[in-house]
Amino acid sequence: WQLARCLLVQKVRRCHSRTLKKYANKYIMVNLGEIFPNFSAKTSEGNISDFHEWLGKSWGILFSHPADYTPVCTTELARVVTLLPEFKKRDVKLIALSCDSVENHIGWGKDVLEYAKCTFDKLPYPIIEDSGRELAVKFGMLDPDERNKEGLPLTARAVFIIGTDKKLKLSILYPATTGRNFNEILRVIDSLQLTATQKVATPADWQQGGKCMVLPNLSNEEAKKLFPHMETHKLPSGKEYLRLTPQP
């Protein structure tokens, strides 16, 4: 029995190796500001034939997790459930991904909802089935140090934030051992949505409603017209680049 299992595992690994080689030349390095590649996928809520069409005119977050029925992933997806009103307020559509099957996603979803103390019948956002690792390889999501019991690599904790123009606005890759801070992800969305329409940037540790930095490519004359309450921080260099304004 042990020999048969060993041979089976070796066969699966060889098959997986061929899968990785097959899709290696399809790996896409998506840079900030580029259109996020479109794709089709099988999910816990049915098939998505066109990801861009599914997003519509909303912002989107695609986030992967290593595996269903694991502790850190359960806390993460439960946190997303509790923060759903905040994401809706910002018009953000959510979609998760792992290498597990749709059946696993649906079953595990009940555990996630229980941990979130939520009475929904099912998860309020879909999870993509990527058992063949096609999307994980395509978007560079695989964590070589994290493997399942068959020795196959699992997805890392990736986050892709996509704007209404379908362009990538932010990407983060966490290791499997570190759960994500979704309050920080909400803060980033607030910054991205604000700076998409206003000539400001958000400083370190900025929170919604806090002071913003005036973009350095604006002259003082332009800046004063746009931001009449602007303040310039005096510096030893004498340069007037630290200009703060109340959040527009």
Same domain, 112 and 221: no
Same-domain check for residues 203 and 113:
no
Residue percentage of the chain with pLDDT more than 70 = 88
**Which amino acid type is present at position 175?**
P
Say yes or no: 137 and 34 in one domain.
yes
Contacts of residue 26, defined as CB under 8 A and 6 or more positions apart, other chains included, come to 137, 138
The verdict on whether 73 is a catalytic residue reads: yes
Count the alpha carbons within 13 Å of 189 in the hemisphere toward its beta carbon: 25
Q: Based on the domain organization, do 187 and 117 belong to the same domain?
A: yes
6 pLDDT higher than 50: no
Exposed / middle / buried, residue 128 (Cβ in 10 Å: 0-12, 13-18, 19+): buried
DSSP single-letter state for residue 120: -
pLDDT digits (tens, 9 = 90+) for 170-213: 999 998 889 999 999 999 999 999 999 999 999 999 999 999 99
The 10s digit of each residue's pLDDT in 29-81 is 788 999 999 999 999 999 999 999 999 999 999 999 999 999 999 999 999 99
What distance in Å separates the CA atoms of residue 220 and residue 227, rounded to the nearest whole number?
A: 10
Q: Which of 40-49, 123-132, 152-161, 165-174 has the lowest mean pLDDT?
A: 152-161
Q: Which of 6, 15, 73, 118 is catalytic?
A: 73
pTM of the model: 0.86
At residue 10 the predicted structure's pLDDT band, cuts being 50, 70 and 90, is: low
Q: Are residues 45 and 57 in the same domain?
A: yes
DSSP 144: E
Structural domain of 42? 2-194
What is the CATH number for 19? 3.40.30.10
- Do 30 and 143 lie in one domain? The reply is yes
CATH code where residue 218 lies: 3.30.1020.10
Structural domains of the chain, count: 2
At 222-243, the pLDDT tens digits run: 999 999 999 999 999 999 999 9
